[in-house]
Amino acid sequence: MRSSRALVPTLKEVPADAAGPSTVFLLRGGFVRRVGAGIYSFLPLGVRVLRKVERIVREELDRAGALEVLLPALLPAEYFRETGRWDVFGDTLFRLHDRKGGDYHLGPTHEEIITDLVRREVRSYRDLPKNLYQIQTKFRDEPRPRGGLLRCREFSMKDAYSFDADEAGARQSYEAMRAAYVRVFDRLALDYRMVAADSGAMGGSGSAEFQVLVQTGEDVIAACSACSYAANLEVASTPPAPPPAAAGEVPPPERVLTPGKGSIEEVSALLGASPATFLKSLVYVAGEGLVLAVVRGDHEVNEIKLARALDVREVHLASAAEVERATGAPVGFAGPVGFRGRVVIDRDAAAVPSGITGANEVDVHLRNVVPGRDFEAPVAELRSVREGDPCPSCGAPLRLYRGIEAGHIFLLGTHYSAKMGATYLDERGEQHPLVMGCYGIGVSRLVATAVEQAHDEDGIRWPMSIAPYEVHLVQVGQEPEVVAAVAELEAALEAAGVELLVDDRDERPGVKFKDADLIGIPLRVTVGRKALEAGGVELKPRAERDPKRAERLPLAGAAAAIAARVAALRAGG
RNA sequence: CGGGGCGUAGCGCAGCCUGGUUAGCGCACUAGACUGGGGGUCUAGGGGUCGUGGGUUCGAAUCCCGCCGCCCCGACCA
């Protein structure tokens, strides 16, 4: 493709609302344009990247035995009503009506639709297992679209659904998908972790997220510095801290005045005590009632773990008014001693030999509080892991990273099939619900994710596997011998099957080089009078920052050498 | 949903507080000249319902009210 005929509208300046490197460079590089909040158009360059991601996903799913289908994006309400998700999805669902007033929505995910397809077409164990996937546009009215392409209201997603006769089969399907996902993410040249995740209210028995490690990620993941343990912070675990040295005989609790000092930081400064000796007490709304959750002063409550410990769906912090009603004191002075209501305590907090905590009285704290002696509470793991906490499987320090969830694999069990009557007959003619799994990859999100991970201050550095073109042939100058050399190279490279963008615009060299760096095609070949006089053309990988370190290739053998380099990079070199 | 902010040329912004010629600047765009290996210089141009509806006023981009859209932080997020 020649730039003179292409549509690659690069920008010097960035739209003010662009957040994060992926949005900035995809907009500036002419890959995408914003149409509305969380809604983007893909321009020719962006489409090429998107298609390459799709191709890799297709190849690996096909290799794993999955079958591609295409389900509609426009859906009648009846399917989601059948599983109750018409209500559960709430405002996240884009709803619309047809001319007759019927309820419709745009598909945010397709479990119901695929389950309906399979319950009609699959009757016998002989038809199993099946794994069906599609690459489809999904619609979710996100409460807050953000991060450009990272969280959109319309986005492209690959979703696959497996159907098996039993748990063991489903587990096999799940493992096959896990392996396929590893291949996909490896081919995309992403730095990622497969992490244990919260399986949430879906009731699944297995779940893993593919988290791409980037600074701007929305999720926090904990990964072991030594072994392969990795988990979303929501579920990451660590063994109980070793109990501190015994404090000997602890005197009875003592009231201390802490006027106006409600935070751990303030009170620890006032009393000259370490935050680790505090019993931080937070009032949560859990289901119907209020619960006091106690963690060490230097720890943070993990709401997912708390909800699990209490066996409720979710918890949230109580309002200031609720706190005051529950404790009789303003926020900052809650404590487990004398608290009228349910209390739970984290393992590490329960091991504090002599703690400081709120007295449920304004401007008063208690010291010398001994869990178990001065109050009783069930002990559970309630806190989030911190950087450096020991790994639950090997004990080495955990490291914390930010990540973007780009893939999720999930064993669903019979959640949908049972509700929707998707059953098969076994060898003995008995009817059983199909055992399902679902597997998503955020295709358009991956485009942005790759940029988040592969860029420098000048622009994108695409990996060869998803670069919009493989070689950027930059013509410098309009001299006849330059034009001829470019044409010759172009023909030879295209004949060799190299995907080529030829910058033949009548622009100054600086403009072309800046654009080339911005667009980020992995290899740049410069043809100009200077280079020709010096005996050939220049080859420079995008990753090489110093233009002086470009390689000189004699024009005669240049095409073959460049094609060989492309082949090496395609192979992951 | 709570808090904060922004809507002025394709993009980035100034002007608004303190109302008053023809609404400016940079980039981009068009034409020409020079220039020619890291976003060059000069000259001449084109391009605006100042988000929208109402109000105040002799007069509104500017003041007031409503609405819409968008961004950021938080809540939420199969």
Task: Provide the pLDDT for residue A466.
Answer: 97
Return the nearest residue to B39, CA–C1': A511
Task: Provide the pLDDT for residue A200.
Answer: 52
| Token couple for A388 | 């450096």
Rounded, the Å distance between the CA of A316 and C1' of B2 is 15
Task: Provide the pLDDT for residue A205.
Answer: 60
What average pLDDT does chain A have? 92
Return the nearest residue to B72, CA–C1': A17
List CB contacts of A223: < 8 A, sequence separation 6 or more. A193, A195, A229, A230, A231, A398, A399, A401
Rounded, the Å distance between the CA of A4 and C1' of B36 is 19
Task: Provide the pLDDT for residue A15.
Answer: 76
Closest nucleotide to A316's CA, by C1' atom?
A: B75
Domain spans, chain A: 43-205+408-452, 254-380, 469-570
Closest nucleotide to A219's CA, by C1' atom?
A: B77
Closest nucleotide to A478's CA, by C1' atom?
A: B36
Task: Provide the pLDDT for residue A202.
Answer: 46
Rounded, the Å distance between the CA of A209 and C1' of B16 is 50
Rounded, the Å distance between the CA of A269 and C1' of B36 is 66
Diameter over CA atoms, chain A? 95
Closest nucleotide to A410's CA, by C1' atom?
A: B78
Return the nearest residue to B38, CA–C1': A510
Which one, of A414, A415, A412, A422, lies nearest residue A117 by Cα? Answer: A422
Rounded, the Å distance between the CA of A520 and C1' of B42 is 33
Rounded, the Å distance between the CA of A359 and C1' of B63 is 53
Closest nucleotide to A515's CA, by C1' atom?
A: B39
Which one, of A538, A563, A562, A558, lies nearest residue A550 by Cα? Answer: A538
Which one, of A568, A563, A515, lies nearest residue A25 by Cα? Answer: A515
Per the CB < 8 A criterion, the answer to whether A359 and A337 are in contact is yes
The ipTM, to two decimals, is 0.92
- Total-model pTM: 0.92
Sequence-ordered alpha helix ranges (H) in A189-286: 264-271
Closest nucleotide to A544's CA, by C1' atom?
A: B38
Return the nearest residue to B74, CA–C1': A144
Closest nucleotide to A314's CA, by C1' atom?
A: B76
Rounded, the Å distance between the CA of A259 and C1' of B78 is 47
A254-380: which CATH number, 3.20.20.140, 3.40.50.300, 3.90.960.10, 3.40.47.10?
3.90.960.10
Closest nucleotide to A109's CA, by C1' atom?
A: B78
Rounded, the Å distance between the CA of A9 and C1' of B27 is 14
Listed as ranges, the nucleotides of chain B within 7 A of a protein C-beta are 1, 10-13, 26-28, 35-40, 69-78
Rounded, the Å distance between the CA of A145 and C1' of B70 is 11
A469-570: which CATH number, 3.20.20.70, 3.40.50.800, 3.90.1640.10, 3.40.50.920?
3.40.50.800
Task: Provide the pLDDT for residue A573.
Answer: 58
pLDDT tens-digit readout, A66-123: 999 999 999 999 999 999 999 888 888 999 999 999 999 999 999 999 999 999 999 9
- Please state which architecture CATH assigns to domain A43-205+408-452: 2-Layer Sandwich (3.30)
Return the nearest residue to B35, CA–C1': A508
Closest nucleotide to A159's CA, by C1' atom?
A: B78
Task: Provide the pLDDT for residue A201.
Answer: 45
Q: Could you write out the DSSP letters of every residue in A86-121?
A: HHHTGGGS-EEE-TT--EEEE-S--HHHHHHHHHHH
Rounded, the Å distance between the CA of A128 and C1' of B25 is 69
Task: Encode chain A (573 residues) as per-residue pLDDT tens digits.
Answer: 999 999 999 999 887 777 789 999 999 999 999 888 899 999 999 999 999 999 999 999 999 999 999 999 999 999 999 999 998 888 889 999 999 999 999 999 999 999 999 999 999 999 999 999 999 999 999 888 877 889 899 999 999 999 999 999 999 999 999 999 999 999 999 999 999 887 654 445 678 999 999 888 889 999 999 998 999 998 899 999 887 777 678 899 999 998 888 888 888 888 888 899 999 999 888 877 889 999 999 999 998 889 888 888 778 888 777 888 888 888 888 999 988 888 999 999 999 999 999 999 889 999 999 999 999 999 999 999 999 999 999 999 999 999 999 999 999 999 999 999 999 999 999 999 999 999 999 999 999 999 999 999 999 999 999 999 999 999 999 999 999 999 999 999 999 999 999 999 999 999 999 999 999 999 999 999 999 998 899 999 999 999 999 999 999 999 999 999 999 999 875
Rounded, the Å distance between the CA of A150 and C1' of B8 is 30
Rounded, the Å distance between the CA of A218 and C1' of B74 is 14
Task: Provide the pLDDT for residue A199.
Answer: 62
Q: Quote the CA–CA distance of A359 and A370 in Å, as a whole number.
A: 14
Per the CB < 8 A criterion, the answer to whether A453 and A461 are in contact is no
List CB contacts of A567: < 8 A, sequence separation 6 or more. none
Across the beta sheet with A342-346, the strand order is: A315-317, A279-286, A289-296, A342-346, A379-380
